[in-house]
Protein backbone atom coordinates (compact mmCIF):
# COMPACT_ATOMS: atom_id res chain seq x y z
CA UNK A 1 0.00 0.00 0.00
CA UNK A 2 1.24 3.48 -0.86
CA UNK A 3 2.29 5.75 2.00
CA UNK A 4 -0.21 8.26 0.62
CA UNK A 5 -3.14 5.86 0.15
CA UNK A 6 -6.24 7.01 2.03
CA UNK A 7 -8.51 4.16 0.91
CA UNK A 8 -11.11 3.29 3.51
CA UNK A 9 -10.67 6.58 5.36
CA UNK A 10 -13.41 9.13 6.05
CA UNK A 11 -12.44 12.79 5.88
CA UNK A 12 -14.47 15.73 7.16
CA UNK A 13 -13.71 18.99 5.34
CA UNK A 14 -15.36 22.20 6.53
CA UNK A 15 -15.97 24.97 4.01
CA UNK A 16 -15.61 22.51 1.12
CA UNK A 17 -17.91 24.22 -1.36
CA UNK A 18 -15.25 26.31 -3.17
CA UNK A 19 -11.61 27.31 -3.28
CA UNK A 20 -9.12 25.77 -0.88
CA UNK A 21 -11.74 23.60 0.83
CA UNK A 22 -12.85 22.12 -2.47
CA UNK A 23 -9.24 21.57 -3.54
CA UNK A 24 -8.52 19.69 -0.31
CA UNK A 25 -11.69 17.58 -0.55
CA UNK A 26 -10.92 16.54 -4.12
CA UNK A 27 -7.28 15.72 -3.34
CA UNK A 28 -8.28 13.55 -0.37
CA UNK A 29 -10.89 11.81 -2.54
CA UNK A 30 -8.35 11.19 -5.29
CA UNK A 31 -6.16 9.53 -2.65
CA UNK A 32 -9.05 7.23 -1.74
CA UNK A 33 -10.94 8.91 1.11
CA UNK A 34 -14.69 9.32 1.39
CA UNK A 35 -15.68 12.92 2.13
CA UNK A 36 -18.10 14.70 4.44
CA UNK A 37 -18.44 18.27 3.19
CA UNK A 38 -19.54 20.56 6.02
CA UNK A 39 -20.75 24.12 5.64
CA UNK A 40 -23.56 26.66 5.55
CA UNK A 41 -23.78 26.35 1.75
CA UNK A 42 -24.34 22.85 0.31
CA UNK A 43 -21.20 21.80 -1.54
CA UNK A 44 -23.11 20.27 -4.45
CA UNK A 45 -20.36 20.86 -7.03
CA UNK A 46 -17.72 19.37 -4.73
CA UNK A 47 -19.96 16.38 -4.02
CA UNK A 48 -20.48 15.71 -7.73
CA UNK A 49 -16.73 15.81 -8.35
CA UNK A 50 -15.99 13.55 -5.38
CA UNK A 51 -18.58 11.02 -6.51
CA UNK A 52 -17.19 11.12 -10.06
CA UNK A 53 -13.94 9.85 -8.52
CA UNK A 54 -15.82 6.86 -7.14
CA UNK A 55 -15.86 8.08 -3.55
CA UNK A 56 -18.81 8.70 -1.26
CA UNK A 57 -19.69 12.27 -0.28
CA UNK A 58 -22.04 13.29 2.53
CA UNK A 59 -23.29 16.88 2.60
CA UNK A 60 -23.54 18.18 6.17
CA UNK A 61 -25.35 21.47 6.74
CA UNK A 62 -23.88 23.43 9.65
CA UNK A 63 -23.19 27.06 10.51
CA UNK A 64 -19.85 27.00 12.30
CA UNK A 65 -20.29 30.59 13.39
CA UNK A 66 -21.41 28.91 16.62
CA UNK A 67 -20.43 25.66 18.31
CA UNK A 68 -24.07 24.51 18.56
CA UNK A 69 -23.92 22.06 15.61
CA UNK A 70 -20.49 20.57 16.40
CA UNK A 71 -21.55 17.28 17.99
CA UNK A 72 -24.35 16.84 15.44
CA UNK A 73 -21.78 17.14 12.64
CA UNK A 74 -19.69 14.31 14.08
CA UNK A 75 -22.78 12.18 14.75
CA UNK A 76 -24.09 12.63 11.19
CA UNK A 77 -20.73 11.73 9.66
CA UNK A 78 -20.40 8.59 11.78
CA UNK A 79 -23.92 7.49 10.94
CA UNK A 80 -23.73 8.24 7.21
CA UNK A 81 -20.16 7.17 6.43
CA UNK A 82 -19.37 4.79 9.26
CA UNK A 83 -16.24 6.50 10.56
CA UNK A 84 -14.19 9.64 11.00
CA UNK A 85 -10.44 9.42 10.44
CA UNK A 86 -9.47 12.86 9.12
CA UNK A 87 -10.72 16.33 10.06
CA UNK A 88 -9.79 19.39 8.01
CA UNK A 89 -10.77 22.64 9.75
CA UNK A 90 -10.90 24.90 6.70
CA UNK A 91 -14.04 27.03 7.21
CA UNK A 92 -13.23 30.63 8.04
CA UNK A 93 -14.29 34.24 7.61
CA UNK A 94 -12.55 37.62 7.57
CA UNK A 95 -13.64 41.17 8.45
CA UNK A 96 -11.61 44.26 7.52
CA UNK A 97 -11.38 47.63 9.29
CA UNK A 98 -8.73 49.83 10.87
CA UNK A 99 -7.83 48.66 14.37
CA UNK A 100 -9.07 51.95 15.88
CA UNK A 101 -12.52 51.36 14.33
CA UNK A 102 -12.85 47.60 14.72
CA UNK A 103 -16.10 46.47 16.35
CA UNK A 104 -16.76 43.84 18.98
CA UNK A 105 -19.26 42.25 16.59
CA UNK A 106 -16.63 41.76 13.88
CA UNK A 107 -14.15 40.50 16.46
CA UNK A 108 -16.53 37.88 17.86
CA UNK A 109 -17.81 36.72 14.46
CA UNK A 110 -14.32 35.96 13.19
CA UNK A 111 -12.88 34.47 16.38
CA UNK A 112 -15.96 32.32 16.96
CA UNK A 113 -15.77 30.83 13.45
CA UNK A 114 -12.01 30.66 12.94
CA UNK A 115 -10.88 29.60 16.39
CA UNK A 116 -13.64 28.63 18.82
CA UNK A 117 -15.42 26.30 16.38
CA UNK A 118 -12.09 24.86 15.27
CA UNK A 119 -11.29 23.86 18.84
CA UNK A 120 -14.67 22.41 19.70
CA UNK A 121 -15.03 20.50 16.41
CA UNK A 122 -11.51 19.15 16.96
CA UNK A 123 -12.52 18.19 20.50
CA UNK A 124 -15.59 16.27 19.29
CA UNK A 125 -13.65 14.54 16.51
CA UNK A 126 -10.67 13.95 18.80
CA UNK A 127 -12.79 12.10 21.35
CA UNK A 128 -13.87 9.69 18.61
CA UNK A 129 -10.35 9.36 17.19
CA UNK A 130 -8.79 8.63 20.58
CA UNK A 131 -11.39 5.95 21.33
CA UNK A 132 -10.96 4.52 17.83
CA UNK A 133 -7.20 4.34 18.30
CA UNK A 134 -7.65 2.42 21.56
CA UNK A 135 -10.14 0.03 19.97
CA UNK A 136 -8.59 -0.58 16.55
CA UNK A 137 -5.10 0.94 16.48
CA UNK A 138 -6.18 3.31 13.69
CA UNK A 139 -4.66 6.79 13.80
CA UNK A 140 -6.63 10.00 13.56
CA UNK A 141 -5.51 13.07 11.62
CA UNK A 142 -6.52 16.68 12.25
CA UNK A 143 -5.41 19.38 9.82
CA UNK A 144 -6.12 23.00 10.64
CA UNK A 145 -5.94 25.74 8.05
CA UNK A 146 -3.75 28.52 9.41
CA UNK A 147 -2.52 31.52 7.41
CA UNK A 148 0.46 33.65 6.50
CA UNK A 149 -0.92 35.81 9.32
CA UNK A 150 -0.11 33.01 11.75
CA UNK A 151 3.45 34.27 11.17
CA UNK A 152 2.93 37.90 10.15
CA UNK A 153 0.82 40.77 11.45
CA UNK A 154 -1.06 41.99 8.44
CA UNK A 155 -3.10 45.20 8.50
CA UNK A 156 -6.79 45.97 9.04
CA UNK A 157 -7.67 42.37 9.98
CA UNK A 158 -7.08 42.23 13.76
CA UNK A 159 -9.54 39.45 14.57
CA UNK A 160 -8.37 37.36 11.60
CA UNK A 161 -4.70 37.70 12.60
CA UNK A 162 -5.56 36.87 16.21
CA UNK A 163 -7.64 33.85 15.21
CA UNK A 164 -5.07 32.43 12.81
CA UNK A 165 -2.25 32.98 15.33
CA UNK A 166 -4.49 31.12 17.76
CA UNK A 167 -4.94 28.27 15.27
CA UNK A 168 -1.17 27.82 15.11
CA UNK A 169 -0.91 27.71 18.90
CA UNK A 170 -3.90 25.40 19.25
CA UNK A 171 -2.37 23.04 16.70
CA UNK A 172 0.73 22.70 18.87
CA UNK A 173 -1.26 22.24 22.09
CA UNK A 174 -3.48 19.50 20.68
CA UNK A 175 -0.44 17.74 19.23
CA UNK A 176 1.22 17.79 22.65
CA UNK A 177 -1.87 16.29 24.29
CA UNK A 178 -2.92 13.81 21.62
CA UNK A 179 0.28 12.60 19.92
CA UNK A 180 0.70 9.75 22.40
CA UNK A 181 -2.98 8.89 21.93
CA UNK A 182 -2.58 8.24 18.20
CA UNK A 183 -3.88 11.51 16.78
CA UNK A 184 -1.70 13.71 14.56
CA UNK A 185 -2.53 17.43 14.70
CA UNK A 186 -0.89 19.74 12.19
CA UNK A 187 -1.76 22.83 10.16
CA UNK A 188 -1.31 24.24 6.67
CA UNK A 189 -0.64 27.95 6.17
CA UNK A 190 -1.62 28.83 2.59
CA UNK A 191 0.06 31.66 0.76
CA UNK A 192 -1.66 33.61 -2.01
CA UNK A 193 -4.00 31.09 -3.64
CA UNK A 194 -6.05 31.81 -6.78
CA UNK A 195 -9.66 31.42 -5.62
CA UNK A 196 -12.91 33.37 -5.76
CA UNK A 197 -11.92 35.04 -2.49
CA UNK A 198 -8.77 36.54 -4.04
CA UNK A 199 -10.29 37.44 -7.42
CA UNK A 200 -10.24 41.17 -6.64
CA UNK A 201 -6.54 41.06 -5.75
CA UNK A 202 -5.73 39.14 -8.92
CA UNK A 203 -7.67 41.68 -10.98
CA UNK A 204 -5.90 44.66 -9.37
CA UNK A 205 -2.95 45.19 -11.70
CA UNK A 206 -0.78 46.98 -9.12
CA UNK A 207 -1.46 44.64 -6.19
CA UNK A 208 -1.17 41.57 -8.37
CA UNK A 209 2.24 42.71 -9.60
CA UNK A 210 3.41 43.48 -6.05
CA UNK A 211 2.31 40.06 -4.83
CA UNK A 212 3.92 38.21 -7.74
CA UNK A 213 7.19 40.08 -7.23
CA UNK A 214 7.29 38.90 -3.61
CA UNK A 215 6.64 35.19 -4.36
CA UNK A 216 9.86 33.35 -5.32
CA UNK A 217 7.82 30.75 -7.20
CA UNK A 218 6.57 33.58 -9.43
CA UNK A 219 2.93 32.50 -9.51
CA UNK A 220 -0.24 32.37 -7.46
CA UNK A 221 -0.91 29.06 -5.78
CA UNK A 222 -3.66 26.71 -6.87
CA UNK A 223 -6.10 24.99 -4.47
CA UNK A 224 -4.54 21.70 -5.64
CA UNK A 225 -1.24 22.85 -4.11
CA UNK A 226 -2.94 22.93 -0.71
CA UNK A 227 -4.66 19.62 -1.48
CA UNK A 228 -1.32 17.90 -1.97
CA UNK A 229 -0.09 19.09 1.41
CA UNK A 230 -3.34 17.88 3.01
CA UNK A 231 -2.93 14.41 1.51
CA UNK A 232 0.58 14.22 2.96
CA UNK A 233 -0.52 15.29 6.45
CA UNK A 234 -3.54 12.96 6.34
CA UNK A 235 -1.51 9.95 5.25
CA UNK A 236 0.74 7.48 7.02
CA UNK A 237 3.70 9.30 5.44
CA UNK A 238 3.19 11.98 8.12
CA UNK A 239 2.68 9.71 11.15
CA UNK A 240 5.72 11.26 12.87
CA UNK A 241 4.79 14.86 12.03
CA UNK A 242 3.16 16.58 15.01
CA UNK A 243 2.31 20.19 15.84
CA UNK A 244 3.76 21.54 12.59
CA UNK A 245 2.45 24.53 10.64
CA UNK A 246 3.35 23.82 7.00
CA UNK A 247 3.60 26.95 4.87
CA UNK A 248 2.48 26.29 1.29
CA UNK A 249 3.31 29.73 -0.04
CA UNK A 250 5.63 29.51 -3.04
CA UNK A 251 8.44 30.81 -0.81
CA UNK A 252 6.62 33.94 0.46
CA UNK A 253 7.89 33.58 4.03
CA UNK A 254 11.40 32.78 2.87
CA UNK A 255 11.68 36.12 1.05
Q: What is the DSSP letter of 186?
A: E
Tell me how far CA of residue 182 lies from CA of 74, 90, 126, 176, 187, in angstroms: 19, 22, 10, 11, 17
pTM of the predicted structure, to 2 decimals: 0.97
> Which residue in the list 55, 76, 117, 160 is annotated as catalytic?
160
Q: Give pLDDT, residue 1.
A: 67
Task: List the beta bridge partners of residue 193.
Answer: 221
pLDDT of residue 198: 87
At residue 210's C-alpha, the angle toward residues 208 and 213, to 5°, is 105
Residue ranges in the chain modelled with pLDDT below 50: none
Torsion of Cα atoms, 94 then 100 then 102 then 108, to 10°: 90
- Helix (H) / strand (E) element for 185: namely strand 183-190
Q: How far is Cα 246 from Cα 232, in angstroms, rounded to an integer?
A: 11
Q: Where do the domains of the chain lie, and which CATH numbers do they carry?
A: 10-250 (3.40.50.720)
Cβ-based burial of 208 (10 A; exposed 0-12, middle 13-18, buried ≥19): middle
From the CA atom positions of the chain, what is the Rg in Å? 17
| Residue from 226, 237, 251 nearest 27 by CA | 226
Spatial separation of the C-alpha atoms in residues 237 and 226, rounded to whole Å: 16
Query: Is 240 assigned a catalytic role?
Result: no
Amino acid sequence: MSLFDLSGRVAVVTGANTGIGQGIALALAEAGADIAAVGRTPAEETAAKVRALGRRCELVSADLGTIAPVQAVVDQVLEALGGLDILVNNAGIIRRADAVDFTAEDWDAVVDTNLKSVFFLSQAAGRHMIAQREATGRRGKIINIASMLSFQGGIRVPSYTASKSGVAGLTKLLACEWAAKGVNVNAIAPGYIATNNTAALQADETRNRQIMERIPEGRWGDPADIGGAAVFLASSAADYVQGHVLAVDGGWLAR
